[in-house]
Amino acid sequence: MKKILFTAKLFFAATLAVMLGGCFKDSITKTYSIMRPVYKSRTEALAEIKSGPSQPLKSPGKIFLRGNYLFVNEVDKGVHVFDNSNPSSLKEAAFIAIPGNIDIGMKDHILYADMYRDLVALDISDPLQVKLVKTVRDVFAPRDFGVGIAEMGNDDMIIAGWMTKDTTVSIESAENSWVCPNCITLYANDGGVNVGSPAPGISGSMARFSIVNDYLYAIQSSTVGVYHVADPLNIEAKSAPWAGLGIETIYPFKNKLFIGSQTGMFIYSLNNPAAPQKEGSFLHASACDPVIADDAFAFVTLRTGNSCMSSLNELNVVNIENIGLPQLVKAYPMTNPHGLAKDGNLLFVCDGKDGLKIYNASNVNDLQLIKHLTGMETYDVIAWNKKLILVAANGIYQYDYSDPQHIRLLSTVAVSH
């Protein structure tokens, strides 16, 4: 009987606690990580563009090779300029500060770069004294900071980044939509935010814009912006053909553009360079997607990633001899492939933390791995004149692949911590 009475009292106490919990709702709190946007005006951003002596390499990104110079993006900061006239002794020449910079390209002595959403044209005849020639607004899609939301702002202000701060609020406040304008709210335990001969102009395969003759083609959120850049003082917007959702990379080959997206590869003809026309497409499951091509085949890497919503990590070889109807030849499993390059029958694939893989691609139905360089997390690569330029998380590597069985390291530039 005493046991039954004790159980009844315990039940009553528990019920009372639940009831009283509703009365004291305001005293219950929850801690969030609040991400607040950090703004700067376009005028402030433009004023930060300047050149000077070389700076330590900290976060290498896109690469561009022209003549005897190698240009390496410092993510969101600007561009390192290296004298590569002797690949065995890569020399730092200058650093060009460009806030919000990710992509680079060049025509003659004009360096084209993104500054957040805008395109800037810089005269780099003297890399130590660059001059701003032209700014074109809203050329690029809003920046995605990796938290499920893109850059916001207005005509005068740019979101230059995000500041995270833990904030504790009451449950009632949270349920009443306690928010900060333009802020992103995350639970504090969500894990944070993953934020030889002179070469012609060559970009890596991860490039977001490309210059072909007198035209610049820029990836936007779902279109390709076309700009006439014959006169850098008078850059003209020509067209913006639809190219599908989630487009990411652009690769020019002969008279065509190969566009990589999260849903497939799209091929555009440049017979009319001011208004590219779609000729063919190859669709695949949702995945991040750089692409390169030769006369008969396109090579597409698919990888998992924060924004790609995919479980695929593979290399697709696609037959493009019938440009209007590309066909998958074979898929090869990979670890987490990113950029790639091809020279003759040699195919170079940056496979993320699994390093660089070099294949004999003479038979696309049976790619043969002939060399595997490990110990680095690879991102993108340029192959030119038997020289390989590789960007990895820990620095820039340059190799001689005259004998692909015995690829030879020529020089490195290490990331400074």
Residue pointed to by tokens 């593979």: 314
Element holding 212 (H helix, E strand): strand 209-212
* pLDDT at residue number 27: 53
pLDDT of residue 184: 46
Residue 93, burial from CB neighbour count under 10 angstroms (0-12, 13-18, 19+): middle
Report the pLDDT value the prediction gives residue 167, as an integer from 0 to 100: 64
| Structural Rg of the chain based on CA atoms | 26
| Average pLDDT per 10 consecutive residues for the chain, totaling 417 residues | 42 44 52 70 92 95 92 96 94 95 94 95 92 94 58 64 66 45 43 43 90 94 93 96 86 93 91 96 77 95 73 92 95 95 97 97 97 96 95 97 95 93
Q: Which pLDDT score is estimated for 158?
A: 74
First to last CA, the chain: 72
| pLDDT for position 198 | 54
Q: At 366, which amino acid appears?
A: D
Q: DSSP alpha helices (H): ranges in 140-275?
A: 171-175
Check residue 121 and give its pLDDT.
98
As beta bridge partners, residue 414 has: 395
Q: What is the pLDDT of residue 216?
A: 96
| CA dist., res. 239 & res. 277, Å (int) | 11
411 touches 393 (CB < 8 A): no
pLDDT at site 22: 47
Q: What is the DSSP letter of 404?
A: G
CB atoms near residue 51 (< 10 Å): 20
